Structure 1
Amino acid sequence: MNATEKRAIAALATVYGSRMLGLFMILPVFVLLGRDLQGASPALLGVALGAYGLSQALLQIPFGMLSDRFGRKPLIQVGLVLFAVGSLLAGWSDSIQGVIAGRILQGSGAIASVLMALASDLTREENRTKGMATIGLSIGMAFALSLVLGPMVGDAYGLTGIFLLTAVLAGIGMVLVATIVPTPETRTHQPDALPARDQLRQVLTSGRLLRLDGGIFVLHLTLTALFLIVPLTLEELGLGTNQHWWVYLSVMGAGFVAMLPLLIIGEKKRRLKQVMTVAVALLGVAVALMGIGWERIAGFWVVLFIFFTGFNLLEALLPSLISKEAPAAGKGSAMGVYSTSQFMGSFVGGALGGWLSGFAGASGVIVLILLAIAVWLGLVVTMAPPRYATSLALQLTEEHTQDPRTMREAFLAIPGVDDAVVLAGSGEAWLKVDRQQFSEESLWRLPFVARQI
């Protein structure tokens, strides 16, 4: 990357990561600290915990499409303002209803897809994957850091402190976007960046993609619902809020290390379906074990370790599988639906989990999660083995005379090409290829292919 690209990606990763840090920090402490809010009940605490997911899910794709018309940076600034105002509203509220309204307003700044699109605008084709990976890494780091900072800040300053810190982070993000992030001269329409209307229908009717969307829905339903009971369990085991951080930090770190061999086996040995089955099963085992009356923190730590091993593995696997299964030139649309499913899972997990905990306690939440995981496990066991295809973008020659249909048929005739989309207007073609079977020599024989981009 050149200096401009590095500066842009570093700033965007900071904006994205700090925003997610603010959203995540509330997870490990809200059920404990929110009990003192006026009108608080288990059901409303659950709604507040997952409320941001509802507005995120509803507005994720519209925000991305609006940025094509009004520009990336203005939409990002609008989203950060909404996020900051929502954080202030939640922080200054002494009632659960006010916090719910603030959380919904936080989520209405649904700028994830716009940030990715801006990163695409500001990087050259050969560096785009690095930029996206850097931003993706910031999300994982934000989640891990939130499980440490949330209990610390919450113990020292309460919910108000967490929400006000979140508003400050949003303000820093606005300054970075205004001063550090370059303004792109033109907005590109990268198929890998934003949802497209003509691709959404294909994505929404793909059974293979819908299984993965269902998977991320269940995963984040599980995560949000579990944070309705895990902090309470730690409290019952004698740990104060200021001590929860070391439990989360240690199980997250150990779970990350434990999942790496499985991830490598899945990718290198092409055993992704088997590895995914193991990961979902680990979630089910861990959640079932949480129903046991634990008397020592060591035993419960092992249960959390099992859970976060499966969770970390699935968080890494699912986006990779979406990329492999997405149609050529359709990754942006596939990821838009995937993100919507993720946030909707957070909302349903919080709202339904909170409602169940109100009259059935922790056992009701556990039953909900186990039923959802059982359905997911059935979908994984019965799904076809995933395609091991990667995207390949090509620049077409300016003097080509073939029509798009003829060129697409020529691409599909090459061994290892699973799908092809020809974008005649921009002089590009997008292929999905299996690298083990792909005949690159046959590709370069085609007279209308200029180079790889």
Structure 2
Amino acid sequence: MSKSKIKKENLILVIVIALALGSRQLAMNIVTPFVAYYAQTLLFGSLVLGGIALGIFNLTQGFCQVPFGNLYDKIGGKKVVLIGLGALICGLFLSFISNNAYVYVLSRALQGSGAITSAAYSWLSKSVSPEERADSISLVGVVVGLASAIALGGGPVLIKFISVKTLYLASTIIVSLVFLFVLFFVKSDVVENTKKEKIEGKGIYLKKIFKDKKFISYLIIAFSANYIGIASFFLIPEYLKLSIGIDSMWKVLTPAILIAIVIMRISTKFIKKGYVKRVAFLAGIGTIIAGLLLLTESRNLLLLLIESILVFGAYTVVTALIPTVINDFVDDKFRGLVNGIANGCSYLGSFLGATISGLLFSNNLIIALIIILVIGIVFTCTTLIMSNGKKVGV
């Protein structure tokens, strides 16, 4: 592929989608290290409810990706993004006002139900040319990555001065501003009328893509990268808390994420040139190396930094790669649905990564680490059956 820049007429939409996903990432990540602890400070709070509150976001996020993607195919991206942001705003505000741990768990589930990722990437991919697609998705990934870095670095610092409750209020305001910007300054996208033939064709199309090895490989890679990424995001901070304390975790996590963003930007250039398989393979190798280093259970800061860079690097690369390749071959009529399936697999990996690692951390840590390594090996082997075809299921 030749070099391409994002056209001016498309740049506003790309920025808006980046802001929508970035503000959502900021709102969720800035409180993530404190979710389990905060739940325990509320009425009826317990360690178990704290764990549920942490994991239920990814669970509802995963379940809602397909319905939201399917809804995109019917009503368009702008309306779905507004619905999703609205659900997130309600969930954040409910977290702000809740004094009951059960209500807090409900608020986290509501936040996760605003599953706009599949609709946002579908909207973006349909609106820009194929030549602009990789750069556009990469730019969104950079904003989301920076939001994560700011949240991870800023959260532990801000918590010294303001409460978790106040963080939820600030997040509610930020996402509300983005909601208003999308509502008033972005044109609605045009959606083809949903006809009976389209509905009937959906089942046939899904059967075909699920028989396609390339598509299945993308789902496995999306699941694996997210499982490893979130499991490591759970484990590495635990190691850092023991070695340098929660207040200093940002010294390792923030540089690792910033380096991972650079890795993602570099990988995008190779993805555009058609080296999808090689990029995915290298990301898989990175997860294997990280898995082997994690098995040492070392608290050495340099090793923890290397592990973080490898894991977050692979995670951000896949975050840019999967939407790009998925939207290169998907039929326009079912773009939202297929993106929903891919994102659903990603969030299922995130949920299981956090849940399984959390359950095994205290008494069976070695098993949690072996699972990460095995999934890294599966990830890497799966890249060997990838290919760079265009349309599938047509």
Q: Which interval holds the TM-score relative to the shorter structure?
A: 0.7 to 0.9
1:209 aligns with 2:215: yes
- Between the aligned partners of 1:43 and 1:366, the Cα distance in structure 2 is 22
Q: Residues 290 and 311 of structure 2 are in contact (CA less than 8 Å); yes or no, is this contact kept in structure 1?
A: yes
- Between the aligned partners of 2:293 and 2:102, the Cα distance in structure 1 is 33
SS of equivalent to 1:384? helix
Match of 2:286 in 1: 279
> TM-score by structure 1 length?
0.71
Q: Residues 18 and 139 of structure 2 are in contact (CA less than 8 Å); yes or no, is this contact kept in structure 1?
A: yes
Match of 2:228 in 1: 222
Q: Residues 261 and 316 of structure 2 are in contact (CA less than 8 Å); yes or no, is this contact kept in structure 1?
A: no
Match of 2:103 in 1: 98
Counterparts in 2 of 1:287-366, with a 5 A limit? Answer: 287-289=294-296, 291-292=297-298, 294=299, 299-317=300-318, 319-320=320-321, 323-324=324-325, 328-330=329-331, 332=335, 334-357=338-361, 361=362, 364-365=364-365
Q: Residues 208 and 383 of structure 1 are in contact (CA less than 8 Å); yes or no, is this contact kept in structure 2?
A: no
Q: Tell which structure's C-alpha radius of gyration is larger.
A: 1
Q: Residues 23 and 147 of structure 2 are in contact (CA less than 8 Å); yes or no, is this contact kept in structure 1?
A: yes
TM-superposition CA deviations, 1:18-62 (whole Å, max 9, x none): 112212222334345554344444433222112111111111121
Q: Which amino acid aligns with 2:373?
A: I
Q: Which amino acid aligns with 2:239?
A: T
- Between the aligned partners of 2:264 and 2:79, the Cα distance in structure 1 is 39
> TM-score by structure 2 length?
0.80
- Between the aligned partners of 1:205 and 1:112, the Cα distance in structure 2 is 25
Match of 1:73 in 2: 78
Alignment size in residue pairs? 377
TM-superposition CA deviations, 1:70-95 (whole Å, max 9, x none): 44333322221211111111222234
Shift of 1:330: 4.5
- Between the aligned partners of 2:15 and 2:276, the Cα distance in structure 1 is 33
C-alpha distance 366-144 of structure 1, shift in aligned 2 (>3 A): farther
Q: Residues 209 and 322 of structure 1 are in contact (CA less than 8 Å); yes or no, is this contact kept in structure 2?
A: no
SS of equivalent to 1:156? coil
Q: Which amino acid aligns with 2:371?
A: L
Shift of 1:175: 0.7
Q: Residues 57 and 343 of structure 1 are in contact (CA less than 8 Å); yes or no, is this contact kept in structure 2?
A: yes
Bigger CA drift: 17-26 or 330-339? Answer: 330-339
Q: Residues 27 and 227 of structure 1 are in contact (CA less than 8 Å); yes or no, is this contact kept in structure 2?
A: no
TM-superposition CA deviations, 1:402-421 (whole Å, max 9, x none): xxxxxxxxxxxxxxxxx577
Shift of 1:2: 5.8
SS of equivalent to 1:182? coil
Shift of 1:288: 1.3
SS of equivalent to 1:155? coil
TM-superposition CA deviations, 1:215-258 (whole Å, max 9, x none): 332333333344444444333334353x3222211233345557
- Between the aligned partners of 1:324 and 1:120, the Cα distance in structure 2 is 10
SS of equivalent to 1:183? coil
Match of 1:24 in 2: 29
- Between the aligned partners of 1:375 and 1:127, the Cα distance in structure 2 is 32
Shift of 1:279: 1.3
Q: Residues 90 and 163 of structure 1 are in contact (CA less than 8 Å); yes or no, is this contact kept in structure 2?
A: yes
Q: Residues 263 and 313 of structure 1 are in contact (CA less than 8 Å); yes or no, is this contact kept in structure 2?
A: no
Q: Residues 221 and 382 of structure 2 are in contact (CA less than 8 Å); yes or no, is this contact kept in structure 1?
A: no
C-alpha distance 308-42 of structure 1, shift in aligned 2 (>3 A): farther
Q: Which amino acid aligns with 1:288?
A: L
TM-superposition CA deviations, 1:142-180 (whole Å, max 9, x none): 222221122223332232122222211220121111121
- Between the aligned partners of 1:46 and 1:165, the Cα distance in structure 2 is 23
Q: Residues 286 and 311 of structure 2 are in contact (CA less than 8 Å); yes or no, is this contact kept in structure 1?
A: yes
SS of equivalent to 2:384? coil
Match of 1:380 in 2: 380
SS of equivalent to 2:31? coil
- Between the aligned partners of 1:82 and 1:232, the Cα distance in structure 2 is 31
Q: Structure 1 unaligned runs (5+)?
A: 190-194, 392-418, 423-453
Match of 1:160 in 2: 165
Q: Residues 321 and 386 of structure 1 are in contact (CA less than 8 Å); yes or no, is this contact kept in structure 2?
A: no
C-alpha distance 187-133 of structure 1, shift in aligned 2 (>3 A): farther
Q: Residues 252 and 305 of structure 1 are in contact (CA less than 8 Å); yes or no, is this contact kept in structure 2?
A: no
Bigger CA drift: 48-57 or 300-309? Answer: 300-309
Structure with the largest fraction of strand: 1
